[in-house]
Chains A and B, each alone.
Chain A
């Protein structure tokens, strides 16, 4: 039959082959997850087993969709295992991070996080330098710095997870429970999502702008570490001891990460548009991506973030129902999550229904970041304090 042969003609040009690399990747993830389960399964409940399985499936999918994620995973896994092994070789005491060379200078959670901080700052400088010099090479250096910083951040989190158990079995928990810990999650998430779009749109010019947010967060981490000693691992309050935390918090931070990227792309948009108004032929305008592309990146990020933020909020409500006895209590954090959600719902509405594009949306994305920041930080700083008042 002719139709079949034509179908065949189109098929061959369309299908993506499931090659050797994909199989190897899937095997790597499955074996790795199994080993982790074998080692720590006794500490996990049925939900956590399910989360591990889900994470493995998600990782296989993510690695196939975005192959660059594979080497990152391998490096993070190997170095984390090395750190855990080094601790074990030193008798599983936390003070090993002062003795063992590897731990002390590279991959104890505190060192890894410091490396991450330094690399992110350097990456920002390199991105702007690349933009200024129009240097392909500098741009590549910047990109590889962001990759390394993300790897260090992830290693820092994995090792911190283990360290919390080493300090005291009772303290052990996934490091997404304190403001310090989620800040690390935030910078890593933002960096990774940015890297994805950098590859997809083949432009490094937005890197410096995105790194602005990340550098600000790094500044906060440093202040928080040195001034407040927030990096010290604390035990969990009973309400946080739940498997819900393992999915609720990361989902939230995909949202925060994408909203930040959208805001920074919005900033790049506004600057480019301003310069183009005065001098359409300026080299800066030529180096930057087209306004349409930036508009699109903004939309893609907000759409992705909105989806995950929706999930995170719903999961949060379900967790609240289990821990606090009500799925919605108008607690300040909850309420501000709703405000953030409503804000981006309105953003998407105006874009989709009224077809608004460009400048006003860029401004809005930028203001959206202020609202998001307040929900993320401001609530902790200003509002929760109101509740801890003593009553006589």
Chain B
């Protein structure tokens, strides 16, 4: 019993550790969290995989043993207890039972025996009558023997459940790992490069793993997470994924997803065709195939890479797909582009106004890509680029988010869309600002030399404007402020800065006007440009301003795509499942027997009174015992005594 409680406590503690300490992370994460020393100690205690740790399994085995011992030890006594009526107890023994009463009756002994039997029977007791040598008769009653079965059921069920759990555990793998047969793979490599020691054949008794299969492809392997790596499980059948479908709520949350599967097994005459969905798996032999997740299956993407510092528009097309890594050689260095994800829908909450207009709580911002750009030193920037413009404060912008730390939210750059809802004007304008030759030409046109100033001053002024453009492109308006702070004595700073800003504005405006003219926007000399073009200009400057914090100077534009989804399947082989269910059913039945069936005994002893032979009076002794006394035991006992006493009986003693 104490061992049992100790084991139960150990199980509880292990369980608590398993929930508080995040399980199955990479060892690197644990080192960051606990430092190298403790990370090592915890690792050798198996705390990162508590539920698979050898000592945990050992506790389970002990639990199994101790419960088995307990059941075998108790069985003989309990069986006897179930069968026995203890009808031969002496009157004295009866008077020592927890509840007892003695009184006299004027009925004949025979009548009282019949009454006693009838009473016990109507109260649900089984009875047995025993005639003693001295003429006394005991009617013994027993009720609720199922209670004892409750003990067996609950405890045997614990054994059954443990056996089922061990069948489904990775005990065999642990053994093979100990003998050196099995070494989990820790690298992310293609299947043919996985070491033979990390492969498992169909002889593996039980497993639970997952695999992502793109639409239109098939699989006959499965990946089992194991310690710090994974194993590859060969399946005895193959699964074709014909189609994957997903539906969304109007909130953008997935509503349901399902896959059309074809399961082919040489043992089957005909392949099994079935659609699985969450909560509706496919069962085959002792395998079960679940719809567990979904993702991108390598959507094909056509990207345009816009260099952000180039003086001419120099777009480089890039044909790639999700999960691919593309090397990128540029004049400013080599980069690796890792395409991580493609999302067809991006649902965002609508503004109050929009809600009032459309009645919708969410709207779709359209497709986006998630990717990382890594430089030669290994530093990475993560981006989220939207394909379509979205409306912000009545204007259309192409959003692109960037971050360098994954726990931080994206910082967004808003690229203003032109009147045609494209980025054309923006990149033209940018290229022009980047182009010193063109810039110089345009500035000279816009600010022709006047009579009042010398050639030298004029050249200086043009040069200043160009330098301001450079500063602006490199670091935005902040760059100009910085320059002033560094090079101008404090007294004059304010004045100089003001002058520089106005000069930059003139320069940028002139460049912008050139762009507008190229687009064919007619500008009468006295006329102002349209409101749209004005606001666009400010938005564009804002965007330029943010470019210095955008990471490597490239913008990836999603031109077109072909979505390929992947279904996330989970496949299990679980021979212990039915064993566990059987045990659970036993457990439930047992618990109810244990708590809601009470085992009770009643003895009614009827002794003829020798001294008073002329009248038929008998002395009746009633005794009762519950194997688990409860407050109602006594009340019920007294009720019973009252029933057996007729008004003529006069109680002599009641306890």
Binding site for B on A (CB under 8 A): 2-3, 6-7, 9-11, 13-14, 168, 170-171, 234-235, 237-239, 241-242, 292-293, 296, 299, 303-304, 306-307, 310-311, 314, 317-318, 321-328, 330, 332, 335-336, 338-339, 342-343, 345-346, 349-350, 352-354, 379, 383, 386, 389-392
Find the B residue at minimum CB distance from A378: B19
Judged by a CB distance under 8 angstroms, whether B279 is at the interface is yes
Binding site for A on B (CB under 8 A): 1, 4-5, 8-9, 11-12, 15-16, 18-20, 22-23, 50-51, 111, 114-115, 117-119, 121-123, 165, 208, 249-251, 253-257, 277-281, 288, 290, 292, 382, 406-407, 570-572, 574, 577, 580-581, 584-585, 587-588, 591-592, 595-596, 628, 630-631, 643
In the complex, how many angstroms separate the beta carbon of B245 from the nearest chain A beta carbon?
12
| Chain B residue contacts of A299, Cβ below 8 A | 630
| Chain B residue contacts of A335, Cβ below 8 A | 15-16, 18-19
Q: Which of A14, A235, A242, A345 contacts B122 (CB 8 A)?
A: A14
Q: Indicate if the CB atoms of A325 and B292 lie closer than 8 Å.
A: yes
Q: Indicate if the CB atoms of B251 and A311 lie closer than 8 Å.
A: no
Q: Indicate if the CB atoms of A338 and B255 lie closer than 8 Å.
A: no
Q: Say whether, besides A306-B591, A321-B577, A338 and B15 are in contact (CB < 8 Å).
A: yes
Q: Indicate if the CB atoms of A327 and B8 lie closer than 8 Å.
A: no
Find the A residue at minimum CB distance from B120: A10
Q: Indicate if the CB atoms of B19 and A383 lie closer than 8 Å.
A: yes
Q: Indicate if the CB atoms of A353 and B122 lie closer than 8 Å.
A: no
| Chain B residue contacts of A6, Cβ below 8 A | 114-115, 118-119
In the complex, how many angstroms separate the beta carbon of B382 from the nearest chain A beta carbon?
7
In the complex, how many angstroms separate the beta carbon of A2 from the nearest chain B beta carbon?
6
Q: Say whether, besides A241-B279, A322-B279, A392 and B292 are in contact (CB < 8 Å).
A: no
Q: Which of A296, A323, A342 contacts B630 (CB 8 A)?
A: A296
Q: Indicate if the CB atoms of A293 and B631 lie closer than 8 Å.
A: yes
| Alpha-carbon distance A171/B361, docked complex (angstroms) | 14
Q: Which of B12, B114, B631 contacts A343 (CB 8 A)?
A: B12
A–B complex contacts, Cβ < 8 Å, 22 sampled: A2-B114, A238-B278, A239-B279, A241-B279, A292-B631, A314-B584, A317-B584, A324-B290, A325-B281, A325-B290, A325-B570, A325-B571, A326-B572, A327-B580, A330-B23, A339-B12, A346-B8, A349-B1, A349-B5, A354-B1, A383-B20, A386-B22
| Alpha-carbon distance A168/B631, docked complex (angstroms) | 53
Q: Say whether, besides A14-B122, A241-B256, A339-B12, A332 and B19 are in contact (CB < 8 Å).
A: yes
The 7 A-B residue pairs with the shortest CB-CB distance in the complex, in nearest-first order: A392-B406, A325-B290, A325-B570, A238-B278, A314-B584, A332-B19, A10-B122
Interface centre among A3, A6, A350 (most CB of B within 10 A): A6
| Alpha-carbon distance A146/B584, docked complex (angstroms) | 36
Q: Which of A10, A170, A327 contacts B577 (CB 8 A)?
A: A327
In the complex, how many angstroms separate the beta carbon of B12 from the nearest chain A beta carbon?
5
Q: Which of A2, A11, A168, A336 contacts B250 (CB 8 A)?
A: A168
Q: Say whether, besides A324-B290, A328-B165, A3 and B281 are in contact (CB < 8 Å).
A: no
Q: Indicate if the CB atoms of B122 and A239 lie closer than 8 Å.
A: no
| Chain A residue contacts of B577, Cβ below 8 A | 321, 327
| Alpha-carbon distance A288/B5, docked complex (angstroms) | 34
> What 16 additional pairs, Cβ within 8 angstroms, besides A2-B111, A13-B643, A306-B591?
A3-B114, A6-B114, A14-B122, A241-B256, A242-B279, A292-B631, A293-B631, A307-B591, A311-B588, A314-B587, A317-B580, A325-B290, A326-B208, A327-B577, A349-B5, A354-B1
| Chain B residue contacts of A292, Cβ below 8 A | 631
Find the A residue at minimum CB distance from B257: A238
Find the A residue at minimum CB distance from B49: A330
Interface centre among A14, A321, A354 (most CB of B within 10 A): A321
Q: Say whether, besides A314-B588, A345-B8, A296 and B631 are in contact (CB < 8 Å).
A: yes
| Chain B residue contacts of A311, Cβ below 8 A | 588
Q: Indicate if the CB atoms of B278 and A323 lie closer than 8 Å.
A: yes
Q: Say whether, besides A324-B290, A330-B18, A390 and B407 are in contact (CB < 8 Å).
A: yes
Q: Which of B5, B119, B279 contacts A346 (CB 8 A)?
A: B5
Q: Say whether, besides A292-B631, A335-B15, A345-B8, A171 and B406 are in contact (CB < 8 Å).
A: no
Q: Indicate if the CB atoms of A14 and B123 lie closer than 8 Å.
A: yes
In the complex, how many angstroms separate the beta carbon of B343 from the nearest chain A beta carbon?
15
Q: Which of A10, A168, A235 contacts B643 (CB 8 A)?
A: A10
In the complex, how many angstroms separate the beta carbon of B604 from the nearest chain A beta carbon?
13
In the complex, how many angstroms separate the beta carbon of B539 from the nearest chain A beta carbon?
30
Q: Say whether, besides A335-B15, A391-B406, A392-B382, A325 and B628 are in contact (CB < 8 Å).
A: no
Q: Indicate if the CB atoms of A390 and B595 lie closer than 8 Å.
A: no
| Alpha-carbon distance A330/B48, docked complex (angstroms) | 13
| Chain B residue contacts of A322, Cβ below 8 A | 279-281
Q: Indicate if the CB atoms of A325 and B588 lie closer than 8 Å.
A: no
| Alpha-carbon distance A189/B47, docked complex (angstroms) | 38
Find the B residue at minimum CB distance from A351: B628
| Alpha-carbon distance A346/B3, docked complex (angstroms) | 12
In the complex, how many angstroms separate the beta carbon of B153 from the nearest chain A beta carbon?
12
| Alpha-carbon distance A317/B168, docked complex (angstroms) | 14
| Chain A residue contacts of B581, Cβ below 8 A | 318, 327
Find the A residue at minimum CB distance from B165: A328
Find the A residue at minimum CB distance from B584: A314
| Chain A residue contacts of B587, Cβ below 8 A | 310, 314
| Chain A residue contacts of B574, Cβ below 8 A | 326-327
Q: Indicate if the CB atoms of A170 and B111 lie closer than 8 Å.
A: no
| Chain B residue contacts of A354, Cβ below 8 A | 1
Q: Indicate if the CB atoms of B51 and A310 lie closer than 8 Å.
A: no
Q: Which of A293, A310, A386 contacts B588 (CB 8 A)?
A: A310
Q: Which of A9, A170, A325, A386 contacts B208 (CB 8 A)?
A: A325
| Alpha-carbon distance A6/B110, docked complex (angstroms) | 13
Q: Which of A14, A168, A238 contacts B254 (CB 8 A)?
A: A238
Find the A residue at minimum CB distance from B110: A2
| Alpha-carbon distance A342/B14, docked complex (angstroms) | 12
| Alpha-carbon distance A391/B249, docked complex (angstroms) | 26
| Chain A residue contacts of B122, Cβ below 8 A | 7, 10-11, 14
| Alpha-carbon distance A63/B214, docked complex (angstroms) | 55
| Alpha-carbon distance A240/B288, docked complex (angstroms) | 19
Q: Indicate if the CB atoms of A342 and B580 lie closer than 8 Å.
A: no
Q: Say whether, besides A3-B117, A241-B256, A390-B406, A235 and B595 are in contact (CB < 8 Å).
A: no
Q: Indicate if the CB atoms of A235 and B251 lie closer than 8 Å.
A: yes
In the complex, how many angstroms separate the beta carbon of A62 from the nearest chain B beta carbon?
15
| Chain B residue contacts of A346, Cβ below 8 A | 5, 8-9
